[in-house]
Homo-oligomer: A and B are copies of this chain.
Amino acid sequence: MLMQIKDLTPELSRAEQRVARWVVQHPKQASRSTLASIAAECDVSEPTVIRFCRHIGLDGFREFTIRLTEDLSRPVSNVHNNVSADDTASDAVTKVMDASIASLIDMRAIMSSLPVDAAVAAMTRARQIAFAGLGASGHVAADACQKFFRLGTPCTALTNTPDILQFAGVSEMGDVMIFISHGGRWPELARAAELARRRGAIVIALTDQGSRLASLANIVFPCEGVEDASIYTPMSSRLAHLALLDALQVALALVLGDTAVDKLKKSRQALQ
C-alpha cells in the first residue's frame, strides 16, 4: 500500500503529492490521525486529503485509515509488493494467492473464538463421523474423511443429496455429522441437519453464520465468505474449510492420545 502510494505519487496534483509524501514518511501517525489533523500537518485543505484517498483507489478517508492500519500490522506482505504489474496473468495469479492467504489469516484470527473444544469433545466420543458436502465442498468432505478415519473412528464422506439424507435418517445418538457448505443455502442440507438432530446425532456446520443450516446445528464454525462475491469465490472459503478441518484433526489426535498417533503411524507404514 505504501509502495503503491509511492508509485502513484507522480500522477497526483501538487497538494495531493504533499499528502502522499507525508503519509509515506509518517505512516504510523497517519494511520491514527483524523482527517483534519492530517490536513493541518500537510498544510492542505481537508477535501484535498479526501481527494488523495480517492486517487489511490480507495473509497474515502475511512477506508484509508483501515487499510493503512492493516498494512502496518502485516509485516510480510509489504515485502513482495514490487512485482511489476504489466503482466496480467501473473498479476491475477498473485491476487488469487493473496486472497487465499488473507482468508486463512482471517480464519486464524478468529480461531480462538471458534468452538474447537466443543467439536473435538463431540468427535472424541463419536460412534462414527460423517462429512457431508456438495460440489466443491464435497471434495473437502472426502478429503476430511480420508484424514479422520486414520484416527480410528469410523468415518464416511457423503457427497450427494440422497446419501446425505439417508445417512441423516438412520443416524443415531453418538453419531457426529459435519456439514460443509460455504453458503449454507441448499435446503436439502438443512433438512438433513434437522433430521439428524431429531435422531439425536450431533450436527456440526462449517458454513455461513446467518444461514438456515447454521441455525440448525449444535456447533457452528462460521466461515464468512471474504469480501468479493465474484464468480470465483468458493475458492478461498474452501481453503479455509480445509485448513480448519486439518486443525480439528490434529486437535482430535492430541486429545485421543497415543492410540490415535499409533494408528496414524500404522496407516503411514501401510503405504510403504
Contacts and interface: CB of A to CB of B under 8 A. Distances in A.
Nearest to A243: B100
Given A28-B106, A89-B255, A250-B92, A147 B233 contact: yes
A264 B232 contact: yes
Interface residues of A, number: 84
Contact of A2 (B2, B98, B113, B139): B113
Contact of A96 (B28, B69, B136, B250): B250
A75 interface: yes
- Summarize A's interface: helix, strand, loop or mixed: helix
Give the copy number: 2
A238 B117 CA distance: 25
Interface of A: 2-3, 6, 24-29, 31-32, 65-66, 69-77, 80, 83, 85, 87-90, 92-98, 100-101, 104-113, 116-117, 120, 135-136, 139, 142-143, 146-147, 209, 222, 224, 231-233, 235-236, 238-239, 242-243, 246-251, 253-255, 261, 264-265, 268, 271
Closest 9 CB pairs of A and B: A70-B73, A139-B143, A89-B251, A96-B247, A93-B247, A97-B108, A24-B113, A231-B264, A235-B246
Given A90-B117, A147-B235, 18 more contacts: A2-B110, A2-B112, A24-B110, A24-B113, A32-B66, A70-B72, A71-B73, A72-B106, A73-B105, A76-B105, A76-B108, A85-B261, A89-B255, A90-B116, A97-B243, A98-B108, A231-B261, A231-B268
